[in-house]
Structure 1
Amino acid sequence: MRPVRCMMQSSLRDMTRACDKWEAIKQEHPTDMLAIKMAHDTYFYLGLGAPMRDSIAGVFPAWKPSMPHYSYLYGMHSFGLVETNFYDQAEKAARKGLELNRRDAWSTHTMAHVLEMGGRQDEGIAFMSTTMMDWNTCGMLACHNYWHWAVYHIEKGEYTAALDIYDNECGVRSKGSGALLDIVDACSLLYRLNMEGVDVGSRWEDLYETCRPHADDHILVFNDLHVLMSCLGAKQDEAAKKLVNALKNFVSEHQGTQSDIAKKVGVAMCEAFLAYDEGDFAKAVDLLTPVRYQVVTIGGSNAQRDLFNLFLIHAAIKSSKKRHHQLARNLLLERKALKESAPMTDRLIAKAMAMHGD
């Protein structure tokens, strides 16, 4: 139990050192799945893709296919590969994991990322729908895999299909479980739909009630940002400002990994969302642009953090400043270069041109 207590005590103070301790344990005991998984997850919460990938690669030689949980190594390794842009290798590892255990929701999750990052939306929708019975009972990842499914539809502009997934799965699951993993997915979906101009009705009000108990958690900046989205979506302006002020107080009163991340990037991101909600799009751009390459430090996956890329693009398009319009064009060109088959990018390019010309 000693390593577990160490991790819990270090979670807010020094998550990097906690990873070092898990690494030391698994180097001595490379088949200790608890140490492997804890290191993997904590790297994920810090946005450290390369260590997440390498941490699994280093233990493979100690494992034999006959050992319990062997197949799950492929799911974890594949996710580290996809987060460091080795998409072909990630797909190969994920398919191997599913070959060994078709119910490995983490390998399914990697496949969802591979198909998302490759612009293979139709293939992604087909994959999720045909494998659903294999992963939809996995409490920790089912909601998130449904989130991926909905994101394919949002990319294609199929908003009704995305809302159906929200109503039948993500919204229901987040309310039923109360798990922050599920809650952030629900917030992310509704905010993405709002940026696309979709009226989500009273869904924000319901989701806000699920989020409200976590407004003072400040466990992860990533979570704080999504809870803030629920406040803004539900028009709970005072709650939104209170959350941001509480985060500022957290920075001034605490030391450790998350307070450092909040100080360097989290507060600015939260203030950008407040500014956007108030219609001050130029301020939102000016707050977020200087830290956009530091957003990775809040954790989550590339696909999850893409919400913040989209947010900056929308803010830049709507800004009253001409230099922000040029920024929007540059950001869209960058996005197009990374994923050519991206209907959402094409829609945003057309929107920017219609509003501001060539």
Structure 2
Amino acid sequence: MWGQEYRTSSAECAAALDAYYGAFLSFGRGRVAAALRAAAADPACALAAAHAAHAVAPRDPAGAAAFLAAAADNLGNATEYEKAVFGTLSAMVGEERNEEVALARHFELLKKFPKDIMSLKRAQLICFYLGKPDLSLKFVQQVLPENQEQNYIYGMLAFPLLELGKMDEAERAARKGLAINKNDVWSQHNLCHVFQQECRFREATEFMESCSPSWMACTSFLLTHNWWHVAVCYLEAESPLSKVLDVYDQNIMEELEKSDSEAAEVYLNALGLLLRLYVRGHVHPAKERLTTLLDALKDESIWHVEWLLDLLILWALPSMGELESAQNMLESLKSRVSSMDKDRQQVMQKAIQLAEAVYEFGNGEHKKVFDILGPDFDALGYKMIGASDEQVDVFNEVWYTVLINAGETLKAIDVLGKQIRKREGAPFLWRLLVTMLSFSFLLYIFFIPDSIS
């Protein structure tokens, strides 16, 4: 199985583990089911039980603990690889869960088993949720020489490169992955990131739409996330609004009609698009679509699945007048952070700060948002919420709106000027800057002191 030694007496278990590894690396549907099949087929297989623990942990902590205990009971007959995987996963889902320990154990595992790109993928996911793209890059560089024939490795290389602003290198890596396998969805996704960041919007939409048939086997998250990229690129290019709404209605929300869809993953991408529409002045179509989501967003079973989803819900609920539910969620988030260890609490205080600000933005209290975030806010400093540059950028767009509506005209001009120097081809930024400069000029003309006239 993927070049690693493990022990099982069951061909069914082996096949299920192969399926699990393949689905995990390709963002494929059914990976949880595959892990559960493997564990059921051979209860004595430590590797299968460990992976089952990791697979169910987000939704079933008790079940994860039971699988982890089963894996521990069978370590006496396990290979060194199985023991190493168990060590990494026990630091991710066990009672002694600790991300830093998990990262250290992944480094050690990959030194011994450099072809285990499944463990590399896990390590990169931890880095993503900790906002550490530099460490993610270090992980992939550690094992790249041993995996140059694998298309997956180049998508894994491209993502931290683009998060570190190394767009040329990221594009080369993504294209190398696609040269090996044109249907590598992670390389497709990362090449789109490059196009989007460099304001190559038409290139992005044409490329991604041509790739879209290969997404049908993807998880609800990546399928709708790739369509989110398409919609945002249409929006950024100031294409007809109907194009953006068609993607939302026909490609993102349509996913909910599938029997195996993960609703929370769909809502994350749906809300991320609706907030962008909202801050860009398309308030009516955004609120019209929010209306159909309200009952789902008040359902606490989808809370705390992802920090980014929580933040988006904290905008959506108060913007639609659901203040009590929004306040309950905010208090729940604060309680969640208070239960973390002190180091993690300190890091996540910024996430709570952003949560409070987003809640006030949804409530229309722009001056309060400014007071909470302070004059030097930049959403890229909030990557601990587990979001890419493009995902957190919507909070920068919220910030521009806040500056304008809070009367911080000169600050808005300064911030927009800096952003335009990074992305000169973004029409929305130029339009905002021209509006603010015109407003500033009019203020000067009409309120110039008599002594100067």
Structure-to-structure mapping, 1:12-161, within 5 angstroms: 14-63=98-147, 65=149, 70-139=150-219, 140-158=221-239, 159-161=241-243
Distance 1:202 1:157, change over 3 A: same
Aligned residues: 349
Task: Look up the SS of the partner of 2:299 in the other structure.
Answer: helix
Q: 2:317, 2:362 within 8 Å by CA — same for their partners in 1?
A: no
Distance 1:78 1:64, change over 3 A: closer
Q: 2:314, 2:362 within 8 Å by CA — same for their partners in 1?
A: no
Distance 1:164 1:87, change over 3 A: same
Task: Look up the SS of the partner of 2:183 in the other structure.
Answer: coil
Structure-to-structure mapping, 1:166-315, within 5 angstroms: 166-173=248-255, 176=258, 177-198=261-282, 199-200=284-285, 201-214=287-300, 217-218=303-304, 220-255=306-341, 259-262=345-348, 264-289=349-374, 292=378, 294-315=381-402
Distance 1:257 1:147, change over 3 A: farther
Equivalent residue letter for 1:60: L
Q: 1:174, 1:186 within 8 Å by CA — same for their partners in 2?
A: no
Q: Structure 2 CA distance, aligned partners of 1:174 and 1:190?
A: 16
Equivalent residue letter for 2:331: N
Higher relative contact order (CA 8 A, sep 6+): 1
Q: Structure 2 CA distance, aligned partners of 1:334 and 1:111?
A: 25
Larger CA deviation: 268-277 vs 333-342: 268-277
Partner residue of 1:9 out of 86, 94, 115: 94
| Sequence identity percentage | 27
Partner residue of 2:426 out of 342, 352, 355: 342
State TM-score, norm by structure 1: 0.90
Q: Structure 2 CA distance, aligned partners of 1:167 and 1:258?
A: 38
Larger CA deviation: 144-153 vs 167-176: 167-176
Q: Structure 2 CA distance, aligned partners of 1:144 and 1:300?
A: 12
Report the RMSD for the aligned CA atoms in angstroms: 2.3
Task: Look up the SS of the partner of 1:218 in the other structure.
Answer: coil
Distance 1:126 1:236, change over 3 A: same
Task: Look up the SS of the partner of 2:325 in the other structure.
Answer: helix
Distance 1:89 1:254, change over 3 A: closer
Mapped pair 1:165 → 2:252:
no
Equivalent residue letter for 1:116: Q
Equivalent residue letter for 2:101: R
Q: 2:319, 2:363 within 8 Å by CA — same for their partners in 1?
A: no
Distance 1:61 1:260, change over 3 A: same
Tell me, which stretches of 5 or more residues in structure 2 are unaligned? 1-49, 51-85, 443-453
Deviation of residue 258 (structure 1)?
5.8
Q: Structure 2 CA distance, aligned partners of 1:41 and 1:156?
A: 30
Q: 1:53, 1:77 within 8 Å by CA — same for their partners in 2?
A: yes
Task: Look up the SS of the partner of 1:22 in the other structure.
Answer: helix
Equivalent residue letter for 1:57: Q
Task: Look up the SS of the partner of 2:94 in the other structure.
Answer: helix
Equivalent residue letter for 1:213: D
In our comparison, the structure showing a higher alpha carbon Rg is 2
Q: Structure 1 CA distance, aligned partners of 2:393 and 2:330?
A: 22
Larger CA deviation: 192-201 vs 178-187: 178-187
Equivalent residue letter for 2:436: A
Deviation of residue 136 (structure 1)?
4.0
Q: 1:280, 1:319 within 8 Å by CA — same for their partners in 2?
A: no
Task: Look up the SS of the partner of 1:59 in the other structure.
Answer: helix
Task: Look up the SS of the partner of 2:165 in the other structure.
Answer: coil
Q: Structure 1 CA distance, aligned partners of 2:100 and 2:257?
A: 31
Deviation of residue 280 (structure 1)?
2.2
Q: Structure 1 CA distance, aligned partners of 2:92 and 2:206?
A: 39
Q: 1:288, 1:312 within 8 Å by CA — same for their partners in 2?
A: no
Q: 2:228, 2:269 within 8 Å by CA — same for their partners in 1?
A: yes
Deviation of residue 78 (structure 1)?
0.8
Larger CA deviation: 130-139 vs 234-243: 130-139
Equivalent residue letter for 1:305: V
Q: 1:175, 1:210 within 8 Å by CA — same for their partners in 2?
A: no
Task: Look up the SS of the partner of 1:202 in the other structure.
Answer: helix
Distance 1:92 1:254, change over 3 A: closer
Distance 1:214 1:36, change over 3 A: farther
Distance 1:64 1:150, change over 3 A: closer
Equivalent residue letter for 2:189: H
Deviation of residue 259 (structure 1)?
4.2
Deviation of residue 252 (structure 1)?
2.8
Q: 2:159, 2:170 within 8 Å by CA — same for their partners in 1?
A: yes
Deviation of residue 111 (structure 1)?
0.8
Deviation of residue 216 (structure 1)?
7.2
Tell me, which stretches of 5 or more residues in structure 1 are unaligned? none
